[in-house]
Amino acid sequence: MIDYEKYAPLLAKVEKPGRYVGGEFRSEIPDPEKADLRVCFCFPDIYEIGMSNLGVKILTGALNQTGFISCERCYTPWPDMCKQLTENGVPLYALESGDPLNLFDIVAFTLQYELSYTNVLAMLKLARIPLLSSERGENDPIIIAGGPCAYNPEPLADFVDVFSIGEGEDALVELSTLIRDCKKNGIGREETLYRIAQLDGFYVPSLYSVTYNENGTIASFEPKRSNVPVSIRKRIISDLDNVYFPRKCSVPFIETVHDRVMLEVFRGCLRGCRFCQAGMVYRPYREKSPEVLNADAVESVANSGYSEISLTSLSISDYTHLRELIDKLLSWTDDKKVNLSLPSMRIDNFYEELLEKVSSVRKSGLTFAPEAGTQRLRDVINKNITEEEIITACEKAFDGGRNSLKLYFMNGLPTETDNDICGIAGLAQNIVDTYYSKKRFGGGRGVNVTVSVSCFVPKPFTPFQWCAQDSIEELERKQQLLKSEIKTKKISYKYHDARVSRIEAVFARGDRRLGSALLLAAERGMMLDGWDEFFSYEKWLEVFSDCGIDPAFYANRAFETDEILPWDFIDIGVTKEFMKREYAKAISEETTPDCRTKCSGCGAASLCNGKCVCNERGANNG
Amino acid sequence: MADIRVYFTKLGRLKYISHLDLQRAIARLLVRSELPIAYSEGFNPHPRLTITQPLSIYQEGERESFDFRLTEEIDSETVKSRLSQNAFSGMEILEVEVIVGKSASKSAIWRLELKTEMSAEEFSSAFKGEMQVTKRSKSGEKLVDIAPLVSLISAEKTDNGIVARIEAPAAGNNYLNPSYVVAFFGDRVSAKRVVRENIIF
Ligand code: SF4
């Protein structure tokens, strides 16, 4: 039990002390004193965000049910708490036991977005764990990291001892078992790491050496020792129905971002949007059965008292058993006063029927993500949605009494011209015109179309991984161009800060030389870069220049298709050949069908014995 | 249909939880208990629930209460055990009773565990004179004499301070947060614990 009284003087001086005391309902863990191995699972952002992450709930739950692990949690403290910890000489502690992180065997981080890297370092620093792997000794925890950003682990190579590549449920238990055995047998840190490197799906950066060409690109990337694999294949869970799912999650007191029961309906995505990393790295598409999902929901609600369930997956309309699942859920949720919230879905007849039939389905805002303003550019990015489909869906929604919707776009996409930018305004205008094309019920309210535009960030393991990001000046010029093209107050226009996207691009496509920049940023106290109030572009530019790093080399350079990419040694199943094919098709404005319509032989089938689960006909094609 | 009052504790780590967060947590507790509870009307129905007296963050309560409504008759023992099974740490369900006609809370008994070098006499004598404190409200700051509102029940010297028990109005215009009493003594005292022992109806 946490001895929170010793933290009382600190907690008395912070804005939201509830973030730092744990004790939530169902947050009990196996007794740390009796466990063979102690793990602290860290989410490098604040409590409200970290507590909303389903992946963390799954992994901490999976570790805590092994019988030999006691796994706790920790989140990035807000600056007021950082100050209290530092000034009082108190190291960052885990929420359940209140013990400092440096007492644990393993400290794990999940990497959800590039801008959280500084939080990883800030947390290590607050915990008084040496930042550099090379400076950690026998008594320091082993620092591991996983999650979507671990597909390009290189920017954090100096700081993280072990990266877990792919889905972690089984992998982390295997890793923990190995670390426990090494610990029992008195095997030292170096040898332990060497053994971990030989497990499937783990990358130990210190066991690889990199050399560079004169132009700065990578000349070689090689293991330093025998038996260390040249390439690391991601792990996947093939049977989602039989993998651990946390039906007893802790229920936070503080309101979190997603404060509800979350159901993961499937993993992966059938569509192949060419800018989207999630769509590629989570291949192949794997579904959970409606029976299991319904049982997950029933128990989760009973155990938590939550009054809302949300389905969390990409492109939910692709789920084969959507109707069946929703019928099953609706058979009891109404009675229990539980709301069902659906993520943005395809607006089709089924959806309309659903909205009419049940009041308990929360009408989450109507959203579309055309991503690009013209059909030409939508073909380039392989976003298979036509203007006609959007207009028809809006028509239906307007007929149903709705009068507002949100559209998501990206600017700076490869091959984009001013014409494509103007197309965004044109599409939004057409939607407004559709609304006024006939007399609408409650017409006095008018229509509101929100256009939200982010900046394209080239991501590893996408067909656009080689593309340069537009310069800040160009992105900002396009943002202003679009602003001037919008002629009505019925359209509200929001756009992202291009400078944030540029820093994201640097780290997304970065290599291990960026370690010096992260280290310097940590020394300068930079953290919470995902928060507008703390992000400082100027400080980042200073850091880069002080380290002799040219951010444009990573963000604004078109990588050669034959150069060694920093993440080439990671094998996600989808081949580089496929990426090249898709890139070429993008340039020639050709689309690729979704996996259910036709298998495109991306290679992911090799992860499931050559027979891709998302397309039976895809056998041996990958 | 019956109105139920539940007496409970808000102790330990729960002192770091705000009133609104506690309210949400109790609503979830009611849902988990699977009791036939009355819901509010409207599109997003939620359990009808009133916490008798809000408690500020950093304050604890030894006998707090909340009211809710049952739509079917269930004996209080069953209600108590269902709630207890689903309660969170720091909350103990003390008593469950059916209430007929709601009575407003009149005053509250507070225990202030203070760190101070003052003697009990010195501390007590302050309550005999005026106790000017700055009260902040929407209309700005003003000086108020809180002495007429509080009565000191006892003050005992402990190892490194004083444990004082006071009675103060619990509701209405005269509601007095005991933090003003602590504030009155300025840096001569610091509060280790502020505990509401009981609410008097
Ligand atoms: S192997 Fe074929 S069906 Fe499977 S993910 Fe790749 S393209 Fe899609």
Q: Residue B111's domain is classified under what CATH number?
A: 3.30.70
Closest C-alpha among A107, A55, A105, A74 to residue A2:
A74
| Number of CB atoms found within 10 A of residue A425's CB | 21
The domain in which residue B25 lies consists of 2-98
For residue B86, give Cα distances in angstroms to A241, A391, B69, B89: 28, 49, 18, 10
CATH code, domain with B15 = 3.30.70.580
Q: Both A475 and A606 in a single domain? A: no
Q: Both A389 and A329 in a single domain? A: no
A621, pLDDT greater than 90 = no
pLDDT bucket at A4, cuts 50 / 70 / 90: confident
Element (H, E) at A71: strand A69-75
For chain A, the domain total comes to 3
Q: Both B76 and B141 in a single domain? A: no
A622, pLDDT greater than 50 = no
A603, pLDDT greater than 90 = yes
pLDDT bucket at A438, cuts 50 / 70 / 90: confident
Residue A267: what are its φ and ψ, rounded to 5°?
-115, 145
Average pLDDT over residues A549-556: 98
Q: Model-level pTM?
A: 0.94
- Of A214, A233, A252, the one marking the end of a domain is A233
HEC assignment per residue over A471-491: CHHHHHHHHHHHHHHCCCCCE
Average pLDDT over residues A32-41: 97
- Of A233, A248, A281, the one marking the end of a domain is A233
pLDDT bucket at A155, cuts 50 / 70 / 90: very high
The domain in which residue A431 lies consists of 365-496+560-573
The β-bridge relationship of strands B140-145 and A570-571 is unpaired
Q: Tell me, what amino acid is at A180?
A: R
User: Considering only CA atoms, which residue is closest to atom 1 of ligand 1?
Assistant: A605
A369 is a domain residue: yes
Question: Where do the DSSP E strands lie in A380-432?
Answer: 404-411
Q: Tell me, what amino acid is at A36?
A: D
Residue of B nearest to A18 (CA): B16
Q: Both B161 and B94 in a single domain? A: no
A297 is a domain residue: yes
Instruction: For chain A, report the end-to-end CA distance as a whole number of angstroms.
Output: 52
Å from CA of A333 to ligand 1 middle: 35
- Of A216, A233, A250, the one marking the end of a domain is A233
Alpha-carbon distance A484 to A495, whole Å? 13
pLDDT in tens, A275-292: 999 999 999 999 999 999
A554 is a domain residue: no
- Of B79, B98, B117, the one marking the end of a domain is B98
Q: Both A86 and A210 in a single domain? A: yes
For chain B, the domain total comes to 2
Q: Record the tokens describing residue B11, joined without a space.
A: 């102790």
Q: Both A441 and A564 in a single domain? A: yes
Q: Both A132 and A195 in a single domain? A: yes
Q: Record the tokens describing residue A560, joined without a space.
A: 């050669």
Q: Both A76 and A152 in a single domain? A: yes
Q: Both B94 and B6 in a single domain? A: yes
What's the pLDDT score for residue A618?
A: 43
Q: Both A184 and A131 in a single domain? A: yes
pLDDT in tens, A284-318: 999 999 999 999 999 999 999 999 999 888 788 88
A501 is a domain residue: no
Q: Mutation test of ligand 1: which of A595, A607, A608 has the most ligand atoms closer than 8 Å to its C-beta? A: A595
A573, pLDDT greater than 90 = yes
Q: Which residues contact A453 (CB under 8 A, 6 or more apart)?
A: A408, A409, A410, A411, A424, A479, A482, A493, A494, A495, A496
Q: Both B66 and B140 in a single domain? A: no
CB distance from A305 to chain B under 8 Å?
Answer: yes
- Of B49, B68, B98, the one marking the end of a domain is B98
ipTM of the complex: 0.91
- Of B54, B72, B98, the one marking the end of a domain is B98
Determine what percent of chain A is predicted with pLDDT higher than 90.
Answer: 80
| Selected residues 206-265 of chain A with any CB under 8 Å from a CB in chain B | 251, 253-255
Q: Both B111 and B196 in a single domain? A: yes
Q: Both B94 and B120 in a single domain? A: no
Q: Record the tokens describing residue B22, joined without a space.
A: 């506690």
Alpha-carbon distance A228 to A569, whole Å? 12
Closest C-alpha among B78, B19, B35 to residue A253:
B19
Q: Both B94 and B157 in a single domain? A: no
For residue A409, give Cα distances in angstroms to A124, A421, A451, A564, A586: 36, 10, 7, 31, 18
Q: Both B119 and B73 in a single domain? A: no
Å from CA of A280 to ligand 1 middle: 10
Q: Both A33 and A62 in a single domain? A: yes
Closest C-alpha among B79, B91, B78, B74 to residue B25:
B91
A351, pLDDT greater than 70 = no
pLDDT in tens, A493-523: 999 999 999 999 999 999 999 999 999 999 9
| Nearest CB partner across the interface for B32, out of A4, A305, A359 | A305
Angle between the N-to-C axes of helices A189-196 and A169-184, in degrees from 0 to 180, rounded to the nearest 10: 150
Q: Both A410 and A432 in a single domain? A: yes
Q: Both B80 and B12 in a single domain? A: yes
Q: What is the CA radius of gyration of chain A?
A: 25
A578 is a domain residue: no
Q: Both B33 and B57 in a single domain? A: yes
A523 is a domain residue: no
Q: Both A228 and A251 in a single domain? A: no
Average pLDDT over residues A84-94: 97
Exposure string for A42-56, b = 16+ CB within 10 A, e = fewer: bbbbbbbbbbbbbbb
Q: Both A325 and A313 in a single domain? A: yes
Q: What value, to the nearest 5°, has the Cα angle with vertex A16 and ends A10 and A21?
A: 65
Residue B30: what are its φ and ψ, rounded to 5°?
-60, -40
Query: With contact defined as beta carbons under 8 Å apart, do A41 and A64 qualify?
Result: no
Element (H, E) at B195: strand B189-200
Å from CA of A464 to ligand 1 middle: 18
A533 is a domain residue: no
Q: Tens digit of pLDDT per residue, chain B (201 long)? A: 899 999 999 999 999 999 999 999 999 999 999 999 999 887 778 899 999 889 999 999 999 999 999 999 999 999 999 999 999 999 999 999 999 877 778 899 999 999 999 999 999 999 999 999 998 877 888 898 999 999 999 999 998 899 999 999 987 777 889 999 999 999 999 999 999 999 998
A240, pLDDT greater than 80 = yes
Q: Both A211 and A243 in a single domain? A: no
What's the pLDDT score for residue A620?
A: 41
Beta bridge partners of B70: B2, B37
What's the pLDDT score for residue A494?
A: 96
CATH code, domain with A611 = 3.30.750.210
Q: Both B136 and B165 in a single domain? A: yes
A129 is a domain residue: yes
Which of A339-343, A425-429, B23-27 has the least mean pLDDT? A339-343
A359, pLDDT greater than 70 = no
CATH code, domain with A420 = 3.30.750.200
* Ligand 1 binding pocket includes A573 (Cβ within 6 Å): no
Q: Record the tokens describing residue A566, joined without a space.
A: 């920093």
